[in-house]
Each structure stands twice: as C-alpha cells, then as structure tokens.
Amino acid sequence: MAFCFINSYVLSFSLGDGPVPALLLPEIFASRIRAKAVALSLGMHWNKDLSFAGFTKQMILEMCILSGCDYLQSLPGMGLKRALALIKRFTTYDQVIKHLRYNISSVPPLYEESFKKALLTFQHQRVYDTITEKIVHLSDISENIEDDGDFLGPYPF
C-alpha cells in the first residue's frame, strides 16, 4: 500500500497541473483502495503549491472571492494560485485591487464595490438557526453597511 501511495505521489507531480491526475489515477489503483489513493494523491498534487501559513479566515475568504465565486467573476488571468500569491503579498483585498489597478488596466470600475458586496454576502448570509427555528444572518450585520443592503436579504422574517 505504501508503494502505491509513493507512486501516486510521484505520478501526480510528474503529470503536472490539470485534470489528468483525476482522470488517470482511478484507472491505476485497485477498486478496494481507489478512493483513498486518489484522494491522497490529488490532495498532495493540489497542496504542493498552496501554503496557507499565516493566513486568517478573512484572508482565505478574500482569496476565494478574488479567484472567482458565485457573486463575482474573477479578473482575467486570476486563479486560485495568483489570488493566493497576491493576498500573501498584500494581505488585504483593497491593497490587492489597488496594486492591480496600477499594474493592470483590466480591473472594471465597479469591481471593488462588487467585491465588497460579495464579501458581505459571505459574511452575513442567511442561514437556518435550528435553535430558534428561524432564518437568521450568519453573523450580526454591522452598522457600516449602506442602506442598499438588500442584496443580503430581509432581516428578520
């Protein structure tokens, strides 16, 4: 079994980025260990370049939004690795956007405002509270949200 894991580790790096490891590895391993072996090898493959040392919850959230989410498309050429590197270097999204505006002209004029709305949506999304049996916001809505906070949904019902 160790031999299989070592081979999957080497194989995942030698194949490079992309969907190739996910397509090839299930065919290599026996069905009784396939799920664990593929999960381990793909985890190693993805984590080789991603290090979240020193990251806060807020930095991870901002990195994910920068790389693209349901509420905001990513900028051209912005993926998870580039967003990680930029957040690691500048620590906050507003500094990242300022850097991109000065170095890349492809930042849309309303991108920062849309980014703030996406951030607020993730922080204050509506969830079902099993104790009170009501729909509530995930965290209390701060006073600094503008009057146009309708995108967060009604509060309370």
Tens of pLDDT, residues 18-55? 555 566 666 666 677 777 777 766 666 665 566 777 88
Average pLDDT, the chain: 77
pLDDT-derived band at 130 (thresholds 50, 70, 90) equals very high
Judged against a pLDDT cut of 70, whether residue 3 lies above it is answered with: no
* 47, 62, 107, 111, 131 from 56: Cα distances, Å: 18, 10, 25, 23, 29
Q: Give the residue with greater pLDDT, 114 vs 10.
A: 114
Mean pLDDT of the region 10-20: 56
Q: Tokens 């099993």 appear where?
A: 130
